[in-house]
Structures are given as C-alpha cells and as structure tokens.
Amino acid sequence: METKFILQKSCRKLLTTMILFHKKTKNIEAQSKQEIPIHYLDKEAPETDLKNLSPIALEKFIKESNRDYKADSIELMQELKEMELLEFDKDSNIYLPTGNAILLFGKKPRNKFPQAAVKAKVNYGDGRIGTETFDDALVLVPGEVENWLEKVLPTSIDRSNFKAKQITPFPIPVIREAVINALVHSDYTIEGAKVQLDLFPDRIVVKSPGKPVHPITIEALKNFTATSYSRNKKSAFIFNQMGYMEEAALGMETFKSLRENYGLPLPIIDYDGGNIVVTFPRTTRVVKEVSDILGIEKLNDEEIKGFEWIKTKGEVSTREYATHFNY
C-alpha cells in the first residue's frame, strides 16, 4: 500500500508539471509570429569569384562526401552549379559563388557575412576563462570545434577496467551535433548575431540566432518532436552529404537518448527572444535552475527522470510508468 501511495503521489506531481509545461509552450507560440527569412544567400555574392573559395574547404567536402573530383575541376564546379551554389556568367564565361557557397566554402566568410561565426567560451570553474572564435568556412567548423572541445573539456579517470583511460564528462559528439544544428538553422539575416557555445562545469549551452522556422514550433522543440525543416537548406544538404548530420529530426533522437545512453538529463530547449537556446544540464539541480516549468522544482531526482521519460514518449499509462521504473 505504501508503494502504491508513493506512485500515486509522484504521478499527481508529474501530471501537474506536464500540464503547466504544455500551457507554457503554447503561450510562447501564441505570442511569437513566424517569419520567413529573406533568401539572399541563394543569390550571387557581390564582388566575389572562385578565388574567394577555400581549396581546403572544397577538398574537405570532396573527401567527406566520397566524391572523386579535384577542387578546381570543371566537374565539381558543374555539380555545385546544379546545387545552386554557383552561378554561371555566360558573358564572362566564369562561375560565380552564391552567398551559400561563400558561407560553406569561403576563405573568409565573415568578409561578406560578419555574423558567420561560432563564439565559444569555457568556464573552468576555478576562475579561469577561455575563449575561441571559429570563423572559417562552415564545412571546416565542426572539426575545429571538436578539436577544441577535446582540449578544453575537463577529463576524469575511468578505472573500471584494468587499464585507466581518459574520458570526457560530456559526450563530444552530442555537442558537435548541437553546434552543427545551430549552424544549419541559424538566421544569417540577423546582423551581429552569432552561434554561441558556452561550457560550464555543470552545463553546456548552445545558442542559434533566430526564431524556430515555420512550421517548426517551440512546443515541438521542447518535446523533441520537431520534424525536418531547415532554415538553410543548402547548408543542410551539404552537411548531410558529408555525413555530418541527417536531414531529419534536427538531432532530436540524439538529444532524447542522452539519459539512456549517457545517464545525463535531457537538454532543455527554449527561445529567449533572439536565439534558440539548447542547455545540456549535467545534474538534476541544473534542470531545476534552468527550466521555466512551474512545479519542476518540487520534483525529486527520480521524479525528474520520470518527467523526462514521459516527454520522450508523449503519452504513457500509469501501468507503463510503474513497469518502466520497476515500481
């Protein structure tokens, strides 16, 4: 009887929290009008030509996408034209890059688009702060971010096996995927707005400029049910060709698997009025601090696990809940 009472009490608390959660997200959506960005990146980038493209970035694309071209080959230029990343000027008989081509493969993308950068900061928790800016061609940024993360993320010793090994306290591939999503879905029409990556001892925060692009809703992002719809379709296609991301679900499955695969809380996704913000808590204490859902601060660690499990499933019965958590 005592176990039944505890289960009923937890379910009531979780039900109240879930109701408040859905009310909150629906209110935010009602206050936010969806806007379709100007597709100026699809047009020729003024005052540029093929010399503005980085051979290193093009070679990276060729290698990662398993193409058999040279960076300066006509075959590659023609395929990029078919992708609408290059335009062909018949009068001068030359290929000219679009804004998307400059972003993806440019030697210095910020000369044309100053907002095209990832501003990264790490707080080591002992007073030390480290910063870095990644502003190369977008196809080079994920690898650069990953190399930086391997250097700055504090490591710990895993002695569960006979041979000690260095492990990171947060899975780098998950952060990398979040940064890639931020690059692909960033609104590059917002002057001065840059993708941000902030590392703290107890959380990691990734910010992507712009509102959720229609028809994606804030509620869908919060519930990890958002469907595939990229703001920057050319970037999404190129990254997909390189195996950096799937053109589906915006990394939702990766985010949903954090607790199951790594024992970490689910990320908290929100919109702060200028950016889509993805916070990766490392403890349930941070979940309570960051989440704006009324009532979540009253849940204990086990109940927060239950709350997150319900979020990933959508709807569950009391019996399913009890079975999953071995009540």
Rounded to the nearest angstrom, the gap between the alpha carbon of residue 82 and the centroid of all alpha carbons in its chain is 28
pLDDT in tens, 94-119: 999 999 999 999 999 999 999 999 99
Give the burial string for 204-213 (b: 16+ CB within 10 Å, else e). Answer: bbbbbbbbbb
At 19 the pLDDT is: 56
Phi, psi of 148, rounded to the nearest 5 degrees = -65, -40
H-only helix segments in 156-298: 172-185, 218-222, 233-241, 252-256, 258-262, 284-290
pLDDT digits (tens, 9 = 90+) for 39-97: 678 899 999 999 999 999 999 999 999 999 999 999 999 999 999 999 999 888 999 99
18's CB contacts (< 8 A; 6+ apart) are 307, 310
Q: Which of 184, 155, 174, 200 is nearest to 276 (CA)?
A: 184
Please tell me the predicted confidence (pLDDT) of residue 38. Answer: 47
> What is the rounded CA–CA span in Å between residue 256 and residue 152?
25
Residue-range domain boundaries for the chain: 54-111, 118-324
Q: Which residues of the chain have pLDDT under 50?
A: 5, 28-38, 159, 162-164
Q: What is the pLDDT of residue 37?
A: 45
* Cis geometry, peptide bond prior to residue 215 (ω within 30 degrees of 0): yes
Instruction: For residues 99 and 208, give the distance between their C-alpha atoms in angstroms, rounded to a whole number.
Output: 19
The pLDDT assigned to 97 comes to 97
Tell me the DSSP string of 93-133: TEEEEBHHHHHHHBSSGGGT-TT--EEEEEE-SSS-EEEEE
- How many helices (H) and strands (E) the chain has is answered by 13, 10
Distance CA 15, CA 301 (A): 16
Q: Are 86 and 101 in contact (CB under 8 A)?
A: yes
Q: Are the C-beta atoms of residues 195 and 117 closer than 8 Å to each other?
A: yes
The structure tokens listed for 108 are 């210095």
Structure confidence at residue 160 (pLDDT): 52
- What angle in degrees, to the nearest 10, is found between the helix axes of 301-313 and 2-31? 60
CATH fold group of domain 118-324: Heat Shock Protein 90 (3.30.565)
Distance between start and end Cα atoms, the chain? 12
